[in-house]
Amino acid sequence: TRATKVLSALDIPTETGKVIPGVYDGAWGGSGETIESRCPSTGELLATVSTATPKELQDAISKSRDAYKQFRFMPAPRRGEVVRQIREALADKRDELGALVSLEMGKIYSEGQGEVQEFVDICDYAVGLSRMMNGRVISSERPGHSILEVPNPLGVVGVLSAFNFPVAVYGWNLALSMAAGNATLWKPAPSTPLCSVAVTKIVAKVLEKNGIPGAVAGLVCGGKAAGEAVVGSSEIDMVSFTGSEAIGKVVGKAVQDRFGKVLLELGGNNAVIVMPDADLSLALPSVLFSSVGTAGQRCTSTRRLYLHRSIASEFLERLQKAYKTVRMGDPLTKGTLLGPLHNEGAVGVYKQAIEAIKSSGGEIVVGGNTDMTELLPSELHQGHFVQPTIAIPKSPSTSQDIWRNETFAPVLNVAVFDELDEAIEWNNAVPQGLSSSLWTRDIRNIGKWLGPGGSDAGIVNVNVGTSGAEIGAAFGGNKSTGWGRESGGDAWKQYVRWSACTVNFSNEVPLAQGVNFDT
Ligand code: UN1
């Protein structure tokens, strides 16, 4: 099968019935329960993967700690050189790994490749960073003294990643964590274990070649138990979690309870505002990509569309037409723009959202169906396909659940506004604060949008959609999105421990603030 082909190109043998080891701590293993990886497009079983027993989990955590204790002494630029080799190895397998992302997660091939590219990009960034993780020298008020701010490796970083970006989000964390001199232990989503096994194999080979302990980039596939072990372990200095607000709340509290560091990337509920002066022919494809792309399964997907009254009907009409041209099908088939949802649960969430809109008097403008058998070839009938949907809820009131909750599916809710201030108020009136986008050519609108009374999200775009960020800036959201920052910008500063070091080069020991303690 094509799955066998893709997997064997990624060094994952798949003889029938064979369980693939899902735990790596320098050696592959895992003798706990097994998990199944299923293709969301066809329902076929891709492979069975092993997880760790509680004892193996603790062993993996300890091995990560040991690996950190060794790795932290390697000079940062040399760590950067290892990251560069990982970058090369990943780029070599971009197509194969991209195809595996499509097979296991369900996003289209171009986006699967894009995810690997994002990992490659952040490696490039981390290679440069490895020579630029600078502290500072601060003037002291005391003669013959200097104050240094020094970054050192932090320890072990636990990465709990989500199904929707089974490669890139780990990449954001691993690249920075390695440059910073940490060991990283990955607990991927239970439904995308193969992507994590494939990535870990690529990384492990590079580590081995450089004589670095494999547990510098460890892996524990599994479900709740594995997640809880990572979250609860005092040997793990920082937990970087991507997922739902509900689970993020539990993770955040648990890590805080042991005074660990936590980095949360939780729900998004991202709005696009289109002003009357916007270039609609640019806004249109952009809104289409952000709302339908990845079948609405990015945390940055557009969920809310606010249209100025004067362009609302024209824009909506054009958007409806565009929705109807989106080709649904197998994510690996050329020309497909819409793959399936990831699993049956997501279809349930989609149905519930449609039901809630209808029962509260809202209108479904396009889509709303989950029975796609007419539109799809028989081999995709077991897939989790749904129709991308545009809805007009009865009221724009953000006190309604329809507007307040993140539905991780292609459902776009539309409302009409008269004044930009009103639209900004709606933009900000939800619990989440990840991404936002304003379409205008008027510099006064842009000033308002970017300023203190503007969007309160972590990503505030102008004439660019809500999804599809590059790695250069720090990525993350405010409010219930969790305030975490990953990827570029200053995000690396969280992956080190900072010390303020006052050094006395003089022959006196004066006290700060002129305090006199003479006897
Ligand atoms: C996510 O959805 O979890 O900005 C991450 C984007 C991507 C990353 C999204 N580069 O859409």
Q: Separation of 438 CA from ligand 1 center, angstroms?
A: 18
Dist CA 355 CA 368 (whole Å) = 9
User: Phi and psi for 66 in degrees, rounded to 5?
Assistant: -60, -40
Among the atoms of ligand 1, which is closest to the Cα of residue 301?
11
Alpha carbon of 165 to ligand 1 centroid (Å) = 7
State the closest ligand 1 atom to the C-alpha of 459, by its place in the atom list counted from 1.
4
363 is known as an active-site residue: no
Let me know: does 495 contact 511? Beta carbons within 8 Å.
no
**In the beta sheet, which residues pair with residue 137?**
148
Task: Name residues whose C-beta falls within 8 Å of residue 515's C-beta, 6 or more positions apart in sequence.
Answer: none
The model scores a pTM over 0.80 = yes
Q: Which of 96, 111, 115, 265 is catalytic?
A: 265
Q: How many CB atoms lie within 10 A of CB 116?
A: 25
What contacts 172, CB < 8 A, 6 or more positions away?
A: 118, 122, 471, 475, 486, 487, 491
* Assigned token pair, 83: 């990251």
Ligand 1 pocket by C-beta < 6 Å: which residues?
Answer: 118, 164-165, 169, 242, 298-300, 467-469
State the pLDDT at residue 398: 87
Mutate to test the pocket of ligand 1, among 432, 434, 475 (most ligand atoms within 8 A of CB): 475
Pocket test for ligand 1, best of 116, 167, 264, 299 (most atoms within 8 A of CB): 299
Pocket test for ligand 1, best of 242, 292, 300 (most atoms within 8 A of CB): 300
Atom of ligand 1 nearest to the CA of 162: 3
Three-state DSSP at 62 gives helix
Contacts for 168-172: CB closer than 8 Å, 24+ residues apart: 168/115, 168/116, 168/118, 168/119, 168/122, 169/242, 169/265, 169/486, 170/119, 170/196, 170/199, 171/90, 171/118, 171/119, 171/122, 171/123, 171/199, 172/118, 172/122, 172/471, 172/475, 172/486, 172/487, 172/491
pLDDT value, residue 39: 98
What's the confidence (pLDDT) of residue 153? 98
Residue 106 corresponds to which tokens in the numbers above?
């369900």
Per-residue confidence (pLDDT) for residue 335, from 0 to 100: 97
169 Cα–ligand 1 center, Å = 8
- In sequence order, what are the beta bridge partners of 219? 24, 186
Going from the Cα of 299 to the center of ligand 1, the distance in angstroms, rounded, reads: 6
Strand, helix or coil at 410? coil
Give pLDDT tens digits along the chain (519 positions): 889 999 999 999 887 779 999 999 999 999 999 999 999 999 999 999 999 999 999 999 999 999 999 999 999 999 999 999 999 999 999 999 999 999 999 999 999 999 999 999 999 999 999 999 999 999 999 999 999 999 999 999 999 999 999 999 999 999 999 999 999 999 999 999 999 999 999 999 999 999 999 999 999 999 999 999 999 999 999 999 999 999 999 999 999 999 999 999 999 999 999 999 999 999 999 999 999 999 999 999 999 999 999 999 999 999 999 999 999 999 999 999 999 999 999 999 999 999 999 999 999 999 999 888 899 999 999 999 999 999 999 999 989 999 999 999 999 999 999 999 999 999 999 999 999 999 999 999 999 999 999 999 999 999 999 999 999 999 999 999 999 999 999 999 999 999 999 999 999 999 999 999 999
Atom of ligand 1 nearest to the CA of 471: 10
Measure the CA–CA gap between 276 and 182, rounded to whole angstroms. 50
CA end-to-end span of the chain, whole Å? 85
Burial 332-370 (b: 16+ CB within 10 A, else e): beeebbbbbbbeeebbebbeebbebbeeeebebbbbbee
Q: How far apart are CA 152 and CA 499, in angstroms?
A: 8
Res 370: pLDDT: 87
- Token pair listed for 461: 């775009």
> 118 C-alpha to center of ligand 1: Å?
10
Q: Which residues contact 157 (CB under 8 A, 6 or more apart)?
A: 173, 177, 182, 183, 184, 185, 236, 237, 238, 239, 240, 495
Pick from 480, 470, 429, 428: which is nearest to 449 by CA?
A: 428
In angstroms, the CA 156 to CA 69 distance is: 9
Atom of ligand 1 at shortest distance to CA of 435? 4
- In the numeric block, the tokens 């648990």 are attached to 254
Which residue lies with its CA nearest to atom 3 of ligand 1?
Answer: 299
Q: What's the gap in Å between 390 CA and the centre of ligand 1?
A: 22
Backbone angles phi and psi of 68, in degrees to 5: -60, -45
pLDDT in the model for residue 1: 86
* pLDDT at residue 462, as a whole number: 98
- Alpha-carbon distance of 228 to 244, in angstroms, equals 15
Instruction: Given the cut 0.85, state whether the ipTM is greater than it.
Output: yes
